[in-house]
Amino acid sequence: MGVALITPFKEDESVDFKALERLVEYQIKNGTDYLVALGTTAETATLTAEEKDEIVRFIIRVNNKRIPVVLGIGGNSTKAVVDQVQQQDTDGIDAILSVTPYYNKPSQEGLYQHFKAIATASRLPVILYNVPGRTGVNMSAATTLRLANDFKNIIAVKEASGIFTQIDDIIKHKPDSFMVISGDDAITFPLITLGAVGVISVIGNALPYEFSRMVRLALNGQYDAARDIHHRFTELITLLFADGSPAGVKSMLSMMDMIDNKLRLPLVPTTITTFEKIRGVLNSLNVKY
């Protein structure tokens, strides 16, 4: 289980580095296998270039090489992404997570050429990120498999399309060393039963111990025990995304006194109704945190 770290903000919307340090330590102590910095869940689109650099260096310093760190570097200008990949200080970073270009709606050949350019430029392993609900374009199984076969440093895909037949097709035909990672907490368990290797999680920000336990049980073939945890979390995961992400998980982290319940516009906190429903389910689960 990797965790797509949120970015904690203070009431004045500045980055709360003390809260970020607490969160990183909490992840490491509670079973998270690797950290993902500056992904979608970090509200990266609202951060300045200076804030991004400071956040990455801070996470690396606090982590101190205890677990791997994956850095999100993506965009809808291939040249800009390649330039950033080439200029990035890679000390303390183990891989790059790069999302399919958004808004432009490139063809499958355009997606292939985009990731070919990134893979050619990168000194680090590359994880593809397919999330059509956010980008407006779906990377097909054929394109993912073409990239996986053509570039040895493209090591995985974070698949958040929710299209089971597509994800299963990738799993069936991928090279042995290529990894398929769930990009959706709600379907992590069934995807592992098909052959996925784990998840880059949102709920893991708040409940890393329990969710990483589910992942490990499933990977070990202990499906009954893993399914029990999966079913316990189904309602909570639905609520976490009811008013958009990361609003839901930030509300839960605020209930746990980990962060202030603050987001940057255009994102806003969950409604009071959703907030209280999350509180009720969290209390009923009686999970360790």
Q: How far apart are CA 117 and CA 230, in angstroms?
A: 38
52, 112, 158, 262: the catalytic one is 158
- Four-residue CA torsion sign, 91, 94, 100, 106: positive
**Whose CA is closest to 100, among 124, 118, 83?**
118
Please, are residues 197 and 181 in contact by the beta-carbon 8 Å criterion? yes
CA distances from 60 to 25, 243, 267, 275 (A): 12, 31, 27, 32
Active site residue 209: no
Which distant-in-sequence residues (6+ apart) come within 8 Å of 134 by Cβ?
40, 99, 102
Which candidate in 26, 52, 129, 250 is catalytic?
A: 129
Catalytic: 277?
no
Task: Give dist(CA 190, CA 16) in Å, integer.
Answer: 36
Radius of gyration, CA atoms only, the chain: 18
- The separation between CA 104 and the C-alpha centre of its own chain, rounded to angstroms, equals 22
Q: Dihedrals φ, ψ of 78, to 5°? A: -60, -45
Using CA atoms, how far apart are residues 262 and 259, in angstroms rounded to an integer? 8
> What is the rounded distance in angstroms from the CA atom of residue 14 to the CA atom of residue 7?
10
Q: Which two tokens stand for residue 219?
A: 């990977």
User: Biggest alpha carbon distance in the chain?
Assistant: 49
In Å, what is the CA distance from 138 to each residue of 106, 129, 168, 235?
Answer: 10, 10, 15, 27
Instruction: Write out the catalytic residue numbers.
Output: 129, 158
